Amino acid sequence: MERDLTRLREAVLERVEEHSAAMVQLSREIHDHPELGHAEREASRLLAARLTEAGFQVERGVGGLPTALRAVYPGPERPAVAFVGEYDALPDLGHACGHNLIAAASWGAAVGLARTTGGELGRVVFLGTPAEEGGGGKIQMVERGVFRHLDACLMFHPHRRNELEFQARAAYPLRIRFRGRAAHAASAPHEGINALEAVILTFLGINALRQHLREEARIHGIISKGGVAPNIVPEEAEARFLVRALTASYLEEVLEKVKNCARGAAQATGAALDLEPDGPVYQPMRNNQILLDVFRANLARAGWQEPEAPPRPGGSTDLGNVSQVVPCIQPQLAVAPEEVAPHTPQFAAAAVSPRAEQVLRTAAQALALTGLDVLTDGALRHAARQELRGGT
């Protein structure tokens, strides 16, 4: 058995290697045609075509999302491992989060593993998940049951450090609206109620709050509506915030304090306040340590020699919601130098650099090998599930 596994591992590495040129091509095509969340028509069409060619049965529009897809390689239903692809870009910046590499690596891993096992050892699935950047595609897919009947969900994310454990924050998108009363700003300001001032007071309140929050909290926002002309007292004003923390309970606590800043501003100005969620709520990431250890070993098998960086709290991901119900990992591998932050034009350029394309192949190999372990090792599947349940 051990000899069989060694042979299978070698075969997986070779299969993925054989697809490395196709992975690079796929990654570049997606990168060259950036599409925003829920509008990734070309990327999802391209992936569906490539998966069909590789022998997968492809279903598009799963979970009620037109650009989502599920591709299953024919074989027994369980055990089952899913490789998760993201392919949305950012406004103005294009693929500055490198999701082109995620789509290509998960495609390469799924195809490499399915082709090696012929579907006989269990189910190999590719899940195309739209709108990670704010739209929370996976959140709706979790709610609609797309992530059921899986033993593990695997993906990697390009980054500037090799942080295998992804400490993703929970995030609550909050929309704050104030309604005041319009008036001539010079001849009758006393008759107006200034909604913009309420927004400004909200920002000031939040800025005063910051010094008393734990380091892990993040609150950041924009003024999305601030009046129509300087000679009219702004009747309507609006701000959009993201409130983040490492745990759902601390997020709840910080969110209440942020809402109180808006309530205080409403009281101070006399403007009417409306608070509402501005999108789906991202759960924190539960990194499955059992799967992460397996991935770590497989990175070495794929020839990776770089040191691992200690985890630091980062942004948020809708894989966080998946990680609450299925054992998940989202290791981050460096495709850019340390000084290049994600969500910048420099990172968008790094996402098609020779370094990124080398990482792409290694990531796909390590993901495919981890998928092989999930399919062949019942004890591993059990332990990963137990960890998720909080057992030992």
Between residues 135 and 234, which has the closer beta carbon with respect to Zn ion? 135
Give the Cα separation of 312 and 343 in Å (integer).
Answer: 17
Among 327, 322, 331, 320, which residue's Cα sits nearest to residue 296? 331
Residue number, 97 or 199, with CB nearest to Zn ion: 97
Q: In angstroms, what is the minimal distance from the CB of 344 to Zn ion?
A: 11
Q: Which of residues 97 and 110 has its CB atom nearest to Zn ion in the complex?
A: 97
Closest-CA residue to 130 (of 99, 155, 156)? 99
Question: Closest approach of Cβ 99 to Zn ion, in Å?
Answer: 6
Residues that bind Zn ion (CB under 5 A): 97
43, 68 Cβ separation under 8 angstroms: no
- Quick one: which of 177, 173, 174 has its CA closest to 238? 177
Any residues with CB less than 8 A from the CB of 153 and at least 6 apart, and which?
81, 82, 83, 84, 127, 147, 319, 322, 323, 326, 327, 328, 329
87 or 203: whose CB is closer to Zn ion? 87
Task: Give me the helix-helix angle, 20-32 and 99-117, nearest 10°.
Answer: 150
CB of 132: closest distance to Zn ion in angstroms?
6
Query: How many CA within 13 A on the CB side of residue 327?
Result: 27
Q: How far is it, in rounded angstroms, from Cα 308 to Cα 290?
A: 17
The residue among 58 and 153 lying less far from Zn ion, judged by its C-beta, is: 153
For residue 94, the 8-state DSSP code is: B
CA 305 to chain centre: 26
Residue 78 beta carbon to Zn ion: minimum distance, rounded to whole angstroms: 30
CB closer to Zn ion out of 80 and 350: 350
Q: Please, which residue, 97 or 246, has the CB nearer to Zn ion?
A: 97
Label the pairing between strands 157-159 and 332-334: parallel
Residue 129 CB, shortest distance to Zn ion, in Å, is: 11
In the complex with Zn ion, the residue whose CB is nearer, 19 or 99, is 99
Shortest Cβ distance from residue 323 to Zn ion (Å)? 15
Nearer to Zn ion, 102 or 233 (CB): 102
CB of 133 to Zn ion, least distance (A): 5
- Report the nearest approach of Zn ion to the CB of residue 308 (Å): 20
In angstroms, give the least distance from the CB of 149 to Zn ion: 26
On the 0-12 / 13-18 / 19+ scale of CB atoms within 10 A, 248 is middle
308-322: string of b/e by CB count within 10 Å (b at 16+)? ebeeebbbbbbbbbb
Give the residue closest to Zn ion by C-beta: 97
Q: Two tokens at 109?
A: 């891993």
Q: How many CB atoms lie within 10 A of CB 293?
A: 14
